[in-house]
């Protein structure tokens, strides 16, 4: 259980869902973890749980759509742990609307949280990763970053952007020994997924049953996605960069 021993990691959106599961898993594997989120209560609870198990973790309040806050979060992580090795750009939001009924404000918000944040966090993290002799960046895209989805125009656009951003960054920073990949999860049992039911005017039970309609006949649990993130973060994936890893129970198939 030491696959990340001696590593320092930042996880955005780390207070709940996939981010929280990944923070806990990284810590169990020996990493020092910075949980970055705007939810102070849940973020602090995540860190307290990690610390109670004897691992190193800090909570950093950060609006990942703001450059100065992203820069400060990276700097605070480096100061706390003495360096930086892994960045998991996991923060994300969704609006279940089509192009006609999406407001300009909602479009800008989804693109800012899902795409701009990954750009900003990477911008400030890469110099420290390079200084350490290399590192890993993982973006959280989606199955809907590889194909379209109903009533989710801004989300699909943002997640598609992350897939190609992954490829471009892998090309730009490979010479610095920085690997850049993204994950493309299918429906996963998180607060964000369950919130979609209300946005679509469906009952939660009906919505979750629909989410399970895939070859494995179930939706994912956050730990199942976290295990894939862990794989990409370790030396087991040392020759993988520029890739989009699908984790969706066969949904795209």
Containing 67, the helix (H) or strand (E) segment is: helix 67-81
Please return the burial class of 154, using the count of CB atoms within 10 Å of its CB with bins 0-12, 13-18 and 19+: buried
Phi-psi region of 249 (alpha: psi -120 to 50; beta: other; left: phi over 0): left
Q: Look up residue 248 and give its two tokens.
A: 């969706």
Please give the Cα distance from 155 to 196 (Å, whole number): 12
- Residue located via tokens 């590593």: 7
CA torsion sign for 221, 36, 165, 241 is negative
Marked catalytic residue, from 124, 155, 219, 239 = 155
Please give the Cα distance from 115 to 162 (Å, whole number): 6
- The alpha carbon of residue 86 and the mean position of all alpha carbons in its chain are separated, in whole angstroms, by 12
- Residue located via tokens 């404000």: 105
**Residue 239 appears among annotated catalytic residues:** no
Per the CB < 8 A criterion, the answer to whether 241 and 181 are in contact is: yes
> Any idea which residues carry the catalytic annotation?
155
């Amino acid at each position: 259980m030491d696959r990340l021993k001696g590593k320092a990691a930042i996880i955005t959106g780390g207070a709940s869902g996939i981010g929280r599961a990944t923070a806990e898993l990284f810590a169990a594997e020996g990493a020092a973890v910075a949980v970055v989120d705007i939810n102070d209560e849940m973020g602090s609870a995540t860190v307290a749980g990690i610390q109670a198990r004897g691992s190193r973790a800090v909570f950093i309040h950060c609006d990942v759509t703001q450059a100065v806050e992203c820069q400060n979060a990276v700097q605070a992580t480096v100061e706390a742990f003495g360096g930086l090795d892994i960045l998991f750009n996991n923060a994300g939001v969704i609006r279940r609307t089509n192009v006609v009924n999406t407001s300009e404000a909602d479009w800008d918000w989804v693109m800012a949280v899902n795409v701009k944040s990954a750009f900003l966090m990477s911008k400030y993290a890469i110099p420290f990763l390079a200084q350490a002799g290399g590192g890993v960046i993982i973006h959280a895209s989606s199955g809907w970053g590889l194909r379209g989805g109903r009533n989710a125009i801004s989300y699909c656009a943002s997640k598609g952007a992350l897939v190609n951003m992954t490829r471009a960054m892998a090309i730009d920073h490979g010479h610095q020994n920085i690997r850049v990949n993204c994950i493309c999860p299918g429906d996963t049992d998180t607060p964000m997924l369950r919130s979609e039911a209300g946005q679509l005017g469906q009952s939660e039970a009906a919505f979750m049953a629909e989410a399970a309609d895939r070859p494995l006949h179930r939706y994912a649990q956050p730990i199942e996605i976290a295990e894939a993130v862990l794989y990409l973060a370790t030396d087991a994936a040392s020759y993988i960069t520029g890739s989009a890893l699908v984790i969706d129970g066969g949904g795209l198939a």
